Structure 1
């Protein structure tokens, strides 16, 4: 499977709010460097699973709208906006943030990520 297809399948799935699904996409040695509105965070496999479990308690639906995706060999860059429906208000879709991430794919899994995000 191509690196671009792996990344597209990841963002089209419920992986961001479903720990069982996210496990199918991430490499056991994954590391994500994330610069966000709160500062810098580095995530490993366990912290990504935990983060997905936290999101699943707050959101009933998650949707990613990709505006740009560029792929070269095992590297994929994606620019997207993340939307979600909360448990408190499942009828209204709200913007979570805007993201830019560079993914390195290894063994057909997300292996190394460099992400920047901004709240709306």
Structure 2
């Protein structure tokens, strides 16, 4: 699968809420370096899957509004805003954050990520 298509498929759906599906996208040696408004995180595959499980328990739906996706070879950059629906309020979309991520793809999986987010 081409790198841009892989990243697009990952962000175009509720994938992040299902850790079993997320696992299929992640390289065994994945590292995600994440600069957020709460500080710096360095996540490996296990930590990303734990985060996915937490999100799946907290939200019933996730939607990403992608504004930019640019690829060159095995590197893809994506800019999006993530909205979620809670069990308590399933009719309203709640803005979770704005994101910018650069992904390096290896073996048709997400391998190295450099992410920034802001509430």
TM-score (norm 2): 0.98
Report the CA distance between 1:62 and its aligned residue: 0.3
> What is the aligned residue count?
119
The runs of 4+ residues in structure 1 deviating greater than 6 Å are none
* Range 10-19 or range 75-84, more displaced: 10-19
Q: Any conservation in 1 of the 2:13–2:64 contact (CA below 8 Å)?
A: no
Deviations 1:20-54 (A, max 9, x none): 11011111110000000100000000000000000
Q: Per the alignment, in what secondary structure is the counterpart of residue 41 of structure 2?
A: strand
TM-score (norm 1): 0.97
Q: Any conservation in 1 of the 2:36–2:117 contact (CA below 8 Å)?
A: yes
Aligned position for 2:102? 102
Q: Which runs of 5+ in 2 are unaligned?
A: none
Report the CA distance between 1:16 and its aligned residue: 1.1
Aligned position for 1:59? 59
Report the Cα distance in structure 2 between the residues aligned to 1:23 and 1:15, rounded to whole angstroms.
10
Report the CA distance between 1:90 and its aligned residue: 1.1
Q: Which runs of 5+ in 1 are unaligned?
A: none
Q: Any conservation in 2 of the 1:14–1:21 contact (CA below 8 Å)?
A: no
Report the CA distance between 1:13 and its aligned residue: 2.8
Report the CA distance between 1:79 and its aligned residue: 0.5
Aligned position for 1:83? 83
Asked if 1:13 is matched to 2:10, the reply is: no
Q: Any conservation in 1 of the 2:104–2:113 contact (CA below 8 Å)?
A: yes
Report the Cα distance in structure 2 between the residues aligned to 1:66 and 1:113, rounded to whole angstroms.
17
| RMSD across aligned positions (CA) | 0.7
